[in-house]
Amino acid sequence: MINNPYLKSFKDYLKLERSLSGNSIDAYLTDIDKLFQYFDSINKHTNLKDVTSNDLKLFITWINELGMLPSTQARVISGLKSFFSFLLLEQIITIDPTALLESPRLSRKLPDTLNIIEINQLIEAIDASKPDGMRNKAILEVLYGCGLRVTELISLRISNIHYESEYIKVIGKGNKERIVPIGASALKFIKIYIEESRVHISIKKGFEDYIFLNRGGTGLSRISVFTMIKALALKAGIKKASVHIPSGIHLLPI
């Protein structure tokens, strides 16, 4: 990894301010290092203060030509956004060159195989005028936009959303932490849900930081999410089996 004087400070920032794990921090630094590798490859030794949005767009073209998957490209862009936001915060730079940088559109997937048309039909089937409408829109956007498992979705925390850098911190299997890029649409619906719907819920102690809550003010269950998706599929006329729910399980109210 290239020895840049600002990387150590950024590493300390991620550890102390963002409370990221060692693996997540290493992933950030590795992705940022790709930018320096790009500059080396074109023999351009640019000071970070002089990096422009055009430089970054050319860099994204470069990693795309290397065959990097869109999901990996999105993670790299998320890392760059965090890095340059940090440099701006520390007044090392005066203009953030990542401000207009867009992430590649990620493939969308739900807990079961649905195509994009069917996913849009699910979202359109949601009645936004109902108390849970905006929450359910946000749930679907996060599920298919970020490719999360349902267990990861229901454990998401408000403190793990990073709006400016467009990523969320997810706790997966084995309590392993990972950083996942999140699109503007999903962030928009999360923000609307939190500010306009969630505020009217009487939240039970211990669930204050959970993003998605049921009407009783506690966290959602996997079954409640599956039930919601099945109900929307039925309403939208989607006949394929959207989510399997084992027989004999009492479906909890969502």
In the beta sheet, which residues pair with residue 181? Answer: 167
Sheet holding 177-181, edge to edge: 161-162, 167-171, 177-181
Helix, coil or strand: residue 239:
coil
- Check residue 203 and give its pLDDT: 96
Is the model's pLDDT at 120 over the cut of 70? yes
Helix, coil or strand: residue 161:
strand
| Residues 242 and 114: beta-carbon distance below 8 Å | yes
Q: At what angle do helices 53-65 and 70-89 cross, to 10 degrees?
A: 150
Is the model's pLDDT at 156 over the cut of 90? yes
Assign 240 a pLDDT band (cuts: 50, 70, 90): low
| Residues 200 and 135: beta-carbon distance below 8 Å | no
Within 8 A by CB and 6+ apart from 129, the residues are none
Instruction: Say if residue 192 is exposed, middle or buried (CB neighbours under 10 Å; 0-12, 13-18, 19+).
Output: middle
Query: Percentage of residues in the chain with pLDDT exceeding 70?
Result: 86
- Check residue 65 and give its pLDDT: 80
Looking at every residue in the chain, the average pLDDT score rounds to: 82
Q: Among 125, 148, 113, 149, which residue's Cα sits nearest to residue 233?
A: 125
Give the Cβ contact number of residue 165 at 10 Å: 22
> Which is higher by pLDDT, 112 or 36?
36
Q: How many residues does the chain have?
A: 254
CA dihedral (138, 143, 149, 154) in degrees, to 10, reads 0
- Check residue 248 and give its pLDDT: 31
**Sign of the alpha-carbon torsion through 106, 110, 112, 113:** negative
**Sign of the alpha-carbon torsion through 103, 105, 107, 110:** positive
- Check residue 105 and give its pLDDT: 57
Rounded Cα distance between 243 and 254, Å, is: 16
* 203 phi/psi in degrees, rounded to 5: -80, 130
- Check residue 241 and give its pLDDT: 43
Rounded Cα distance between 50 and 93, Å, is: 8
Assign 161 a pLDDT band (cuts: 50, 70, 90): very high
In the beta sheet, which residues pair with residue 177? Answer: 171
In the beta sheet, which residues pair with residue 157? Answer: 210
**Element housing 168 (H / E):** strand 167-171
